Chain A
Amino acid sequence: MRYMWWLVRSQPVRVLRGSLIGTVWMIGLAVRPYLISRAIDDGLRAHDRRALALWVGAIAVAGFVLAYLGIMRHRTMTFVREDATARSAGVLVRHVSRVGAVLPRRLAAGEAATVGGADIGNVSAVLTVTGPGVGAVIAYGVVAVLLWSASPFLALFVLLGVPVMTLIAGPLLRRLESAEHVYRHQQGALTARASDIVAGLRVLAGVGGRGLFARRFSTQSQDLLAQGYRVGAARSWIDALTVVIPGIFLATVVWLAARTAASGDITIGEMVAVYGYVSVLIVPVWFLLEAAYQMIRGRVAARRIIAVLSVIPDGTGGRGDQPGPERPADLYDPDTGLVVPDGLLVGVAVDEPAEAVALGDRLGRFAPGEATWGGIPLAKMALDEVRARILVADHDSYLFAGTVRETLRIRESASDAEIWTALRAASAEDVVDALPDGLSTHLVARARTISGGQRQRIRLARALLAEPDVLILIDPTSAVDAHTEARVARRLRSARAGRTTVLVSTSPLLLGEADLVAHVRDGRVVATGRHAELLDDDPSYRALVARDADIDDDAAERGGVRR
């Protein structure tokens, strides 16, 4: 509620203008029946052509004034809504961008989409209440006064009758909504299935089974059809009720008014006006009912937005602000006993993929750990400094939608020449060359349009361009062919010359280029040395990385025993 109030407070003039125009417009709706009644009474019945022309002219003018007020109201309220939407979206964008790695852990997948899509809109819709909502209440009062002057008895009947009627009809429509809910849900599932089939067309083309899928879809489509008939039956009755309830009410009003007119208490023009007022009154009353419903929905949406906004970074294991080592220094992970000497290319062969990821998280302080850098615990350093100087490039490193250049230019200063250098180091020039517009080619989120190996090389180029003091690469070439992997290994070495690089991988092509290789087994470093030395001296290392078929089988057997 406070959140919505904030959205209102941010644009007081606009909201005020909306209320004003909204009020005048709603009152204006009541003017037409009044003018028509005067035209009938003073003009037609009195056979007074001048009066008739006057009143008819007023009807035409009022029509255009009303149209003008209507559009001004619509414009003002649209601006009020859009202002709120932009404000909510802005707050969300800033928060989501700043909060960082903790977000995916706290927020269920797809929730960001709901919040960013429907919820923002639902909250904004509530603001509509501020303008026309106020107008609706005032318009109701004005019509009440007009009616009272004609006939207090009829006035009482209409003023009480319209809200009662709306309160009866309103819930009916809500019930319809819940009846449709099942249908919509089923329809959504069917749409998902159609998209699913389309997405899998290439698989079906490779293996077959198209007929089966077509038949299964038809069956489900027919189920939905049956459900649709059920909804149709319920819906049509409700439609009929929405005709009957106001219709009977109107008939009653006409009947009472006609009796009053017949006895001479009101004029015929007034009788026609009463008929008109009933249909005019329905507008503000409906509006208030709708507004109440929007408020309920808006509150739920606002609560969800607040939930996202209240996710705060957890600081991953410490909030220190100690400065890091002035010059790059040795990195040490006590959990495994791994030492990464400054300025070297260090290979780490880990037997368990999950352990490899955990190691990266500790060295980059994405998870609590006791890792130190030049003797200073990472947890005691300011997080911003850790992020700026140590980069963990993992498997799932995200590629945002944008041109290749935008994706790679993570430093403002990076020139195209530097980008090409990094692409060359990652052996990814051919990836960009094959794209229709080179660096200016637009890639979708996660770069789904290019192959896994191509994506991996783009990610590697990006990590190189960040030029961190320490670069931790986790399986950077697992999806790349052997030719390219060999090339990447050689170029990576010269690209990172003099700076600390950790290569977590089991590929002999990569490890062969490392200055030093550590073999981590069961969570501890069991051997350290050059790749070739370890191959000769450490049989379990050989089993892990050298992919000869025969040795491999041994390893598998041993692996089987260990598990």
Chain B
Amino acid sequence: MADRAAVRRATLDLIARDRRAAAVVLALHSAAAIAGLATPWLLGRIIDEVSGGAGIGTVDRLALAIGGCVLAQALLTRYAQYAGHRFGERAVARLRERFVRQALQLPVSVVEHAGTGDLATRSSVDVSTVGTMVRDVLPVIMLSLAELALLIGAIFLLHPLLGLVALVGFPTIYAGTRWYLRRAGAAYLAEGAATAELTDALTTTAEGARTVEALGLADERIRYGTERIGHMWATRRATLALRSVFFPVAEGSYALPIAAVLLFGGFFLDKGWFTLGEVVAAALYLQRAIGPLDQMLQWIEQAQRGMASFARVLGVGMVPPEPRGESSTPRGERLVVRGARFAYPEGHDVLHGIDLEVQPGERLAIVGPSGAGKSTLARLLAGIDAPREGTVSVGGCPVTDLDPAERRRRIALVTQEHHVFIGSLRDNLAFAAPGASDEQMREALAAVGADWHTDLPEGLDTQLGDGALDLSAADAQQIALARLVLADPHTLILDEATAALDPTTARRTERSLGAVVAGRTVIAIAHRLNTAHDADRVAVLEDGRIAELGSHHELVAAGGTYAALWRSWHG
């Protein structure tokens, strides 16, 4: 989250980067507004001329001038809008590209602690809210402001006193707006959230319809849905209450300046300070000001919401990017863990002093009950988190000191969590190894047992993800494993990488993977004991400590927890 000063700086920066365009837009809009102002002024002239008994010829000339002004205004509006639109588009493009660049540089630990949900909101809702603001809302507000300023200015030109009188009515609008804006942001956010919740309630009930039927949850779902409807109704009433105060105050004030100018003009017409036509023109200007005022008040709440989103988008850039690490190059591939302790923020130690050495080419299986700290250990080994105490090093260098790109080239971590990116199957593989040929990709897919790829309609060009071909969890995980094959790291850390697959597919995948990982260091967190059986050594992790360590046969012979487990497994 960025503070107000930062938002202001960023807004100015947005304009400053495209200074010339911004100036052009402003000039064109002002010119268009001036042309638009000519109509009431010319009408005032007509009135004066007609009152003075002028003939039809004068009227025709002045009317023609009005037509000319309208055309000029239209042309100027066209170019002003076009320039404004281009300016807005450029600004939005810059913003969204910067957002993605910065999001990609976020350290993994920040991503995880913030929760992907929060970042997802920022990337979808906030970026597009800011986009709407820059593209649609800001131009309208700028334009309305310019028009309003010119209208008031024009009245001052007619006569300064008329101008001063015209300002009556604006203080109430200002006060009303301030009152409204203080409360509107939160109220509309609540309304949006309540609406989304109702949609969500309907969607999830529909998705889980079978479960609703199986478990007899219909009444519960109806109660939940009805509650959401009630909540939505309440939030909408709250925003309506705000509008019920704001709109009458603002709209009621529209008539005040007109009344004031007419009254003042009438009383002092005799003094000869201004003509009847000038008073009428001032009244018409003010009548005309209702348009831009209305526009501005309608959009101002959205502009405010846009600014809030802008602050959230900027917030992403304020997290320091992942440290580059020191340039030290590890000698060798030996992984060594010494006295490692680790605690998540807001928690007690998860790991209590782990000592472990993994030789290059060794296959180590880590087993243990859930909550023992297996995944945490995997993250330390992969350098995603640093131990609170003790060290984790590869080839003599602490893993967290390595350059992130370099580290990923050496040590890859695959978890249960998989993600298929929007794009072709090729896109989904290529980023792991930019230079890979189609042949290598097919080999990698075959290596992880993803034979289904040969049945795809367009082979590697088949589009995947969001709306395109939806892969099952099993297929998605196989893609994740194929990426690994292509990335070719010397050390692989598999954190229950096959747990999401159905038992048959899991076994097929594991077997194929076995051939691929030959010659690499593999650390596998496994919930199926056959993985442990095949490993060179097995580490049993219990309560954040290594309870047993040795080969499968040694551990079975030792008669500890592992042996007991193996016996019940083996039958």
Task: Give the contacting residue for A452; candidates B269, B414, B416; CB below 8 A.
Answer: B416
Residues of B within 8 A of A417 (CB): none
Task: Give the contacting residue for A240; candidates B51, B77, B269, B414; CB below 8 A.
Answer: B77
Rounded to whole angstroms, the CA-CA distance of A101 and B214 in the bound complex is 8
Residues of A within 8 A of B263 (CB): 52-53, 56
Q: How many residues of A contact B (CB 8 A)?
A: 169
Residues of A within 8 A of B100 (CB): 194, 197, 213-214, 217-218
A271 at the interface (CB under 8 A from B): yes
Residue with the highest number of chain A CB atoms closer than 10 Å, among B203, B219, B253: B203
Q: Are A482 and B265 in contact (CB under 8 A)?
A: no
Q: Are A233 and B229 in contact (CB under 8 A)?
A: no
Task: Give the contacting residue for A75; candidates B108, B244, B251, B280; CB below 8 A.
Answer: B244
Residues of A within 8 A of B484 (CB): 207
Q: Are B215 and A400 in contact (CB under 8 A)?
A: no
Query: With contacts A39-B262, A71-B243 known, is A201 near B97, CB below 8 A?
Result: no
Query: In the complex, which residue of chain A has the Cβ closest to the Cβ of B534?
Result: A549
A175 at the interface (CB under 8 A from B): no
Query: With contacts A113-B199, A213-B104, A224-B93 known, is A454 near B370, CB below 8 A?
Result: yes
Task: Give the contacting residue for A44; candidates B101, B259, B266; CB below 8 A.
Answer: B266
Q: Are A478 and B369 in contact (CB under 8 A)?
A: no
Residues of B within 8 A of A103 (CB): 206, 209
A413 at the interface (CB under 8 A from B): no
A561 at the interface (CB under 8 A from B): no
Query: In the complex, which residue of chain A has the Cβ closest to the Cβ of B47?
Result: A268
Rounded to whole angstroms, the CA-CA distance of A254 and B99 in the bound complex is 52
Query: In the complex, which residue of chain A has the Cβ closest to the Cβ of B67?
Result: A251
Task: Give the contacting residue for A203; candidates B90, B418, B430, B511; CB below 8 A.
Answer: B418
Which positions 52-84 of chain B face chain A at CB distance < 8 Å?
Answer: 54-56, 59-60, 62-64, 66-67, 70-71, 73-75, 77-82
Q: Are B565 and A483 in contact (CB under 8 A)?
A: yes
Stretch at the interface among A92-100, A126-134, A161-169, A335-343: A92-100
Q: Are B205 and A97 in contact (CB under 8 A)?
A: yes
Query: With contacts A70-B248, A228-B85, A547-B529 known, is A258 near B63, CB below 8 A?
Result: yes
B570 at the interface (CB under 8 A from A): yes
Query: With contacts A45-B276, A201-B119 known, is A67 near B248, CB below 8 A?
Result: yes
Which positions 171-216 of chain A face chain B at CB distance < 8 Å?
Answer: 187, 190-210, 212-214, 216
Residues of A within 8 A of B73 (CB): 243, 247
Residues of A within 8 A of B228 (CB): 93
Stretch at the interface among A7-15, A287-295, A505-513, A518-526: A505-513
Query: In the complex, which residue of chain B has the Cβ closest to the Cβ of A194?
Result: B123
Q: Are B210 and A100 in contact (CB under 8 A)?
A: yes
A137 at the interface (CB under 8 A from B): no
Query: With contacts A97-B205, A100-B209, A482-B528 known, is A117 near B93, CB below 8 A?
Result: no
Task: Give the contacting residue for A89; candidates B43, B86, B225, B504; CB below 8 A.
Answer: B225
A425 at the interface (CB under 8 A from B): no
B111 at the interface (CB under 8 A from A): yes
Stretch at the interface among B11-19, B302-310, B405-413: B405-413
Q: Are B465 and A206 in contact (CB under 8 A)?
A: no
Q: Are A250 and B39 in contact (CB under 8 A)?
A: yes
Residues of A within 8 A of B430 (CB): 212
Q: Are A93 and B565 in contact (CB under 8 A)?
A: no
Residues of A within 8 A of B447 (CB): none
Rounded to whole angstroms, the CA-CA distance of A347 and B287 in the bound complex is 83
Residues of A within 8 A of B370 (CB): 430-431, 453-454, 480-481, 483-484
Rounded to whole angstroms, the CA-CA distance of A216 and B202 in the bound complex is 36
Stretch at the interface among A144-152, A326-334, A384-392, A495-503: A384-392
Query: With contacts A102-B209, A208-B431, A549-B533 known, is A195 near B78, CB below 8 A?
Result: no
In the complex, how many angstroms separate the beta carbon of A434 from the nearest chain B beta carbon?
Answer: 6
B320 at the interface (CB under 8 A from A): no
Stretch at the interface among A57-65, A317-325, A373-381: A57-65
Which positions 337-383 of chain B face chain A at CB distance < 8 Å?
Answer: 367-371, 382
Q: Are B43 and A206 in contact (CB under 8 A)?
A: no
Rounded to whole angstroms, the CA-CA distance of A119 and B36 in the bound complex is 40
Rounded to whole angstroms, the CA-CA distance of A375 and B32 in the bound complex is 87
Residues of B within 8 A of A388 (CB): 216
Q: Give the tally of cross-chain contacts (CB within 8 A).
A: 503
Query: With contacts A201-B111, A212-B434, A232-B86 known, is A452 near B422, CB below 8 A?
Result: no
B167 at the interface (CB under 8 A from A): no
Q: Are A509 and B216 in contact (CB under 8 A)?
A: no
Rounded to whole angstroms, the CA-CA distance of A232 and B47 in the bound complex is 40
Which positions 416-460 of chain A face chain B at CB distance < 8 Å?
Answer: 430-431, 434, 444-445, 449, 451-454
A16 at the interface (CB under 8 A from B): no
Q: Are B499 and A479 in contact (CB under 8 A)?
A: yes
Rounded to whole angstroms, the CA-CA distance of A225 and B283 in the bound complex is 43
B256 at the interface (CB under 8 A from A): yes
In the complex, how many angstroms separate the beta carbon of B415 from the nearest chain A beta carbon?
Answer: 7
A153 at the interface (CB under 8 A from B): no
- Mark each residue of chain B from 225 to 266: 1 if its CB lies under 8 Å from any CB of chain A, else 0: 110110011001100100110011111111110110011011
Residues of A within 8 A of B103 (CB): 194, 197-198, 201
Q: Are B465 and A196 in contact (CB under 8 A)?
A: yes
Pick the 3 closest A-B CB pairs, nearest first: A63-B255, A398-B208, A209-B431
Residues of A within 8 A of B78 (CB): 236-237, 239-240
Stretch at the interface among B124-132, B386-394, B437-445: B124-132
Task: Give the contacting residue for A195; candidates B112, B120, B415, B533; CB below 8 A.
Answer: B120
Q: Are B131 and A187 in contact (CB under 8 A)?
A: yes
A34 at the interface (CB under 8 A from B): no
Residues of B within 8 A of A391 (CB): 214-215
Rounded to whole angstroms, the CA-CA distance of A512 and B12 in the bound complex is 70
